[in-house]
Structure 1
Amino acid sequence: MLKGEKVMLRAIRPEDLERLWEFNNDLEVELFGGGGPPYPQSLARLKADFEREWAKGGRDGTNFGIEVDGKFIGHCALFEFDPVSRTCKLGISIGDKGYWDKGYGRDAVRVLVDYAFRLLNQRKVWLSVNGNNERAIRAYRGCGFQEEGRLRRQVWTNGQYVDLVQMGILREEWDRLKTG
């Protein structure tokens, strides 16, 4: 549906679920993804959740599978939309570690940010990232995100407390990046 230089963002399909289940149960992927502590997930539960949402019909919203050359490598989404301030939060996970550090995540973020500003009329896109995830922070900065705040030792991950970094990009900053 949405094409970047390296990736395509599209709806998550039933045939993606087994790989998504593998990603969701990979400790290294989960720890770098941030958020709460990693918990196991059964394939049956993932399929049941997917089928329940699918049965409602309608559109899939702003949750996308990330595809490279026909291969599902991760997922990304926009969520926590604020209709008054016109902001939303971005989340991404490249679950296939063979695609780490090759620019696929950056390309997916750029496509998703452009979608938020150009097609959804958002004013700002923001995200949270664990302060020890230097690779992700570099990638977000490379896409124009700026650090807006830091909650010190906020997140318990892998046996230690780490900072939670808040980052954001405004529409006018994105427009300057695209034209500059």
Structure 2
Amino acid sequence: MIIGDKVTLKPLVAQDLPVLWEMIYGDEDAEWKKWDAPYFPLKRREKDEYVSSMKILLEEGLDTRWGIWAGGMLVGSVSCYWEHKPSNWLEAGIVLYNPDFWNGGYGTEAFKLWIGHLFEHFPIHRIGYTTWSGNKRMMKVGEKLGMKMEARIRKCRLYKGIYYDSIKMGILKEEWEALHS
């Protein structure tokens, strides 16, 4: 568990899964999905199937998401995945499903805690994430944390008839430590 001023991060447990399913799939037109890679369709999963398959991943230690808790409730998740494990290339992600917690510093704090945790617990020299030019808030989070735009793939994401850029942000471990120690 990682405790911040506004949020707490902790590994998901079986009891969290129905709540997480509701946040992800409960509202077919959820506001969060308009910002989190909306050009990729979200394939709906049935609640029972989702909960049972996720329980298996949790039991086997294969789910790399932790819950973001604020105000005593689960409001989002942070995650990571190996882009290329042999070279220790780890990518991270964050979703705040509950819009009541947007624009209040909750996401920035959660992502800062998560990146610090990943640098501390994995043999990595860099960490990054990918977003799109339509998600200005996510780009701003990276900038606040000292990340650099490492790549802009122009006009490769089509959403509602408009082309957007894919944005890759990243930070080196020594840069992170200089800014956040």
After TM superposition, the score normalised by the length of structure 1 is 0.87
Is the partner of 1:136 in helix, strand or coil? helix
Amino-acid identity (%): 25
Letter in 2 for 1:82: H
Matched residues in 2 for 1:174 and 1:30: separation? 29
Check whether the contact 1:18–1:43 (CA below 8 A) recurs between aligned residues: no
Aligned twin of 2:116 = 114
Is the partner of 2:40 in helix, strand or coil? coil
Query: Which has the larger displacement, 59-68 or 106-115?
Result: 59-68
Deviation of 1:37 after TM superposition, in Å, equals: 2.8
Q: Deviations over 1:63-97 (max 9, x none)?
A: 11110132100111011253332221111110000
- 5+ unaligned residues in a row in structure 1: which ranges? none
Check whether the contact 1:153–1:161 (CA below 8 A) recurs between aligned residues: yes
Deviation of 1:58 after TM superposition, in Å, equals: 3.1
Check whether the contact 1:31–1:158 (CA below 8 A) recurs between aligned residues: no
Deviation of 1:35 after TM superposition, in Å, equals: 5.8
- 5+ unaligned residues in a row in structure 2: which ranges? none
The count of aligned residue pairs is 177
Aligned twin of 1:21 = 21
Check whether the contact 1:11–1:60 (CA below 8 A) recurs between aligned residues: no
Structure 1 residues 16 and 67 mapped into 2: Cα distance closer, same or farther (>3 Å)?
same
Matched residues in 2 for 1:62 and 1:136: separation? 20
Check whether the contact 1:78–1:90 (CA below 8 A) recurs between aligned residues: yes
Check whether the contact 1:27–1:38 (CA below 8 A) recurs between aligned residues: no
The alignment's C-alpha RMSD in Å is 2.0
Q: 2:34 aligns with which of 31, 46, 57?
A: 31
Check whether the contact 1:20–1:95 (CA below 8 A) recurs between aligned residues: no
Query: Which has the larger displacement, 74-83 or 127-136?
Result: 74-83
Check whether the contact 1:129–1:166 (CA below 8 A) recurs between aligned residues: yes
Structure 1 residues 91 and 129 mapped into 2: Cα distance closer, same or farther (>3 Å)?
same
Are positions 1:128 and 2:130 aligned together?
yes
> Which segments of structure 1 move beyond 6 Å, counting only runs of 4 or more?
none
Q: 1:64 aligns with which of 63, 66, 71?
A: 66
